[in-house]
Amino acid sequence: MAKFSRNLFFSPDIAIDLGTTNTLVYVRGRGVVLTEPSVVAINDKTHQVVAVGKEAKTMLGKTPSHIRTVRPLSHGVISDFEVTEELLTYLINKAGNGHLRFFGSRVVIGVPTGVTNVQSRAVRDAVKNAGAREAIILEEPVAGAIGAKLPVAEAVGTMVLDIGGGTCDISVIALNGVVASRSSHVAGDRFNENIIDFVRGEFKLGIGERTAEDVKIAIGAVMPLSETLSRSVRGRDYATGLPREVTLTDAHIREALIPSLDALMDTMKEVIEATPSELLSDVLEHGVTVFGGGALLRGLPQVLAKMLGVPVRVAQDPLTAVVRGAGIVTEHPAPYSDFFIDEEDILSEA
């Protein structure tokens, strides 16, 4: 268990939700101050960073050959250590209004369920190399449950579903511990891939990841809606090689997402099967809380509730639940210390 003194946390401590798609920063006493895409643009000729965050995301698919747009996290874990450091340094700098006032801070940061010791250490090292004095790590579904004000310390089974960009984490929590959990790659990026594949197969049209994400946000749904939603998309016709435009509807997106929805249900059932009967009765009574960007997919709570036979609700402000939970830990660490991934364990087992 992590050890800390009474004054371990003092201003200006920060919390970071380091996501595959977006990274959020919470400053103790100020709340969520930044939401930036987890994208960095690099000039391969000069080996310098050209842009970070929102500015870099606008360059996706539009850069000359000597400029790369990099997403340094894959499925919620660091795939490019140096670029992740650049991203974190930029965010810490920006959160401090350019004065690097948070260098030397303690940082609470979330990681996906089931990450390896090596991956956890990579996160810790990246945060420290970006300027933090100390990094405290906890699992993202736990942070989200704390952010959603769920009773994680009580003898009550609390089930949460965190659908981010790169990973989907499902956990049952009770008495300050994770009782059962699973992590899968069926998340926002996989939904985008489903849409790209569907448009290719149905319309013989090639579209990019950004277009797929825009369509998902604009008209994405997993159940029939009272009013049809539609969106025109442009791409390359595979037959002619020329640009072409087609109109997609929410019914198309619903069909595209069927494979991912089935896989998500299978993973949730695995967690339910691994949950002790006494806690499962709590889940049946209190239901499942969903957060993360995937929680905004139209009709998802209703479909999950019907398929699982339990109540399903979306957390308030689901996009910020994880970082707000990590932020609460910066304010009051002691009640949540059992959740911390201990540094000594990582170093000894890696």
> What is the rounded average pLDDT of the residues 97-116?
76
pLDDT in tens, 303-349: 999 999 999 999 999 999 999 999 999 988 899 999 998 754 443 34
On whether both 309 and 231 belong to a single domain, the answer is no
Instruction: Report the range of poorest mean pLDDT among 57-66, 95-104, 152-161.
Output: 95-104
> What is the rounded average pLDDT of the residues 53-74?
90
Residue 145, both tokens:
């449950």
Among residues 320, 326, 270, 283, which one has the least CA distance to residue 24? 320
Q: Among 213, 238, 256, which residue terminates a domain? A: 256
On whether both 46 and 94 belong to a single domain, the answer is yes
pLDDT in tens, 125-175: 888 888 888 899 999 999 999 999 999 999 999 999 999 999 999 999 999
Q: For residues 267 and 139, is the Cβ–Cβ distance under 8 A?
A: no
On whether both 176 and 297 belong to a single domain, the answer is yes
On whether both 29 and 121 belong to a single domain, the answer is yes
Domain count, the chain: 3
On whether both 84 and 134 belong to a single domain, the answer is yes
On whether both 126 and 176 belong to a single domain, the answer is no
On whether both 164 and 282 belong to a single domain, the answer is yes
Does residue 342 lie within any of the structural domains?
yes
pLDDT of residue 115: 83
On whether both 23 and 85 belong to a single domain, the answer is yes
Q: For residues 17 and 33, is the Cβ–Cβ distance under 8 A?
A: no
Does residue 6 lie within any of the structural domains?
no
pLDDT in tens, 231-279: 999 999 999 999 999 999 999 999 999 999 999 999 999 999 999 999 9
Does residue 266 lie within any of the structural domains?
yes
CA distances from 143 to 18, 158, 162, 259, 339 (A): 12, 13, 10, 28, 9
3-state secondary structure 50-114: EEECHHHHCCCCCCCCCEEEECCEECCEECCHHHHHHHHHHHHHHHCCCCCCCCCCEEEEEECCC
On whether both 55 and 103 belong to a single domain, the answer is yes
Domain with 233 in it: 193-256
Q: Is the pLDDT of residue 31 over 60?
A: yes
pLDDT of residue 222: 96
pLDDT of residue 93: 81
Rounded-to-integer distance, Cα 279 and Cα 272, Å? 10
Higher pLDDT, 10 or 291: 291
Q: Is the pLDDT of residue 199 over 50?
A: yes
Q: Is the pLDDT of residue 289 over 50?
A: yes
Handedness of CA 317, 98, 87, 196 (dihedral sign): positive
On whether both 22 and 128 belong to a single domain, the answer is yes
Q: For residues 220 and 257, is the Cβ–Cβ distance under 8 A?
A: yes
pLDDT of residue 97: 66
On whether both 310 and 163 belong to a single domain, the answer is yes
Looking at residue 39, which CATH number applies to its domain?
A: 3.30.420.40
Does residue 5 lie within any of the structural domains?
no
> What is the rounded average pLDDT of the residues 226-235?
96
Q: Is 45 exposed, middle or buried (0-12, 13-18, 19+ CB in 10 A)?
A: exposed
Does residue 7 lie within any of the structural domains?
no
Q: Is the pLDDT of residue 10 over 70?
A: no
